[in-house]
Structure 1
């Protein structure tokens, strides 16, 4: 759903840029409360994993494909504020290095793909977690439904943005019908990927999943015919080696997905691209400012072999995203520590 330059007029693009900038500023503050020494490294990995999985377009209908948006996955794993930053880092890397998503449309893309998906999915997730029985299966089920809802929600918001600042006279009703219809199908793929990933992490390290905090229930004992809370057990420290193992496993998985599996992804246009062609919007797209980038189009310039070119680009993208994301989250975590020291001293 990466919006290219030219689909949305300049005033609307500028307005969404202000919205995105404000949301990122708020998210930076919110992420300070979410990130700690355990989860800050995971956040950079989540950004890299989203980048990798976004390269894996999957078929959803005749001549149409979809890919992960990632807002739900990021919000549930590392928190909604940090989730907004994760997806935004991915969009920045894609726009600047790979000419994917217009630079003048960056505000539109962050608003739609990072903010809307994260806010909608996490709201749905929290409501479902309160309603469902406490347990790992409930976390996985809530992840599935939250991700499922987030994708058509993003399609609705894009349609609203296009209604305000679209550069063609296409019927908004037709755009809405086409966008929502195809993105409901894409949402199913998003939901499956999100649920499988969240379920896998919850199974091995539930303490690192933001959405699973407080999952453990207090043990009940029957005393004198009444149920009372058992004394709380002392927390068992988890070795740093376990976190490193999870991080390394996630990074290797991301590299394999982007560097090898991506070659077998669907070559069909994604939902927005297909709708744009069918509805007569595609011709308004302008040449990307980074179209001459050595990595434009997810390939390495001057590397003739398509498999090698795409694989190298994917590996570079994952590496660049994990470095950029980790730097951002390390800085946020460091700022939190610096803010805490004066208050402790006082």
Structure 2
């Protein structure tokens, strides 16, 4: 998110919003989290996930370049955490968002280089994993092969909550080491208020996109895939049924 009136409370943090120790600490957090995601993502990257991950990263990059007005002097854009997590899983999704943030920072000066750690922590880690946690909690409301209307609602809520939680990450970082002139109460109220509105827009975009993909190719939606436990149970039952038929 960017602001023309209060640059110290933009979601894409620029250099100098928090002090050097906090920037360094969250850079370490981001590196460790992304390293864990790289390790865990190996199990999720198959012939379906690899091209889908590329499409998700490209889509989020393109949509983040388009800002929409929220309040006078304030604009917002899609974070994409919940969208990526639902489509390609939380680990691959976090990597997709992190790549987008790095490219935006280095090539388009959207977000400071020293603030990459905080931006990745907020938008790639917090938004993605919170969104996915909400989506997993709502899986029981999904119906049919494409998830039905339940998927639309789950995607909307996941994106909304993930966006507000990402804003909360910003507030915490500012509380620890903020160097701006704005008070913590002002920053917190501004971030939570505007990102509740941004989250509605994010939820609508995420819901429409996920529903469209699920209706066309439900096998490409990570959230709709059977869990490993369910798949293992199914594969165990099938041979047993076949053996039973032979004995009969």
Distance 2:81 2:180 in 1: 29
How far 1:77 sits from its partner (Å)? 0.4
Distance 2:172 2:196 in 1: 17
Q: 2:166 aligns with which of 148, 151, 154?
A: 154
**Pairwise CA RMSD:** 1.5
Aligned partner of residue 207 in structure 2, secondary structure: helix
Moved over 3 A (4+): none
Aligned partner of residue 15 in structure 2, secondary structure: coil
Distance 2:63 2:142 in 1: 30
Equivalent positions of 1:1-346 (< 5 A) are: 1-130=11-140, 132-134=141-143, 135-214=147-226
Distance 1:24 1:8 in 2: 21
TM-score, structure 2 as length reference: 0.84
How far 1:194 sits from its partner (Å)? 0.4
How far 1:214 sits from its partner (Å)? 3.2
Distance 1:201 1:62 in 2: 34
- Matched length: 216
Asked whether the equivalents of residues 15 and 111 of structure 2 are also in contact (C-alpha less than 8 Å), the reply is: yes
Q: Which structure has the highest helix share of the two?
A: 2
Structure showing greater relative contact order (alpha-carbon pairs closer than 8 Å, 6 or more residues apart): 1
Distance 1:136 1:213 in 2: 14
Distance 1:109 1:20 in 2: 9
Q: Which consecutive residues of structure 2, in runs of 5 or more, have no partner in the other structure?
A: 1-10, 228-236, 239-248
Distance 2:225 2:68 in 1: 32
Distance 1:133 1:76 in 2: 13
Aligned partner of residue 107 in structure 1, secondary structure: helix
Aligned partner of residue 34 in structure 1, secondary structure: coil
Q: Call closer, same or farther: CA 1:207–1:6 in 2, change over 3 Å.
A: same
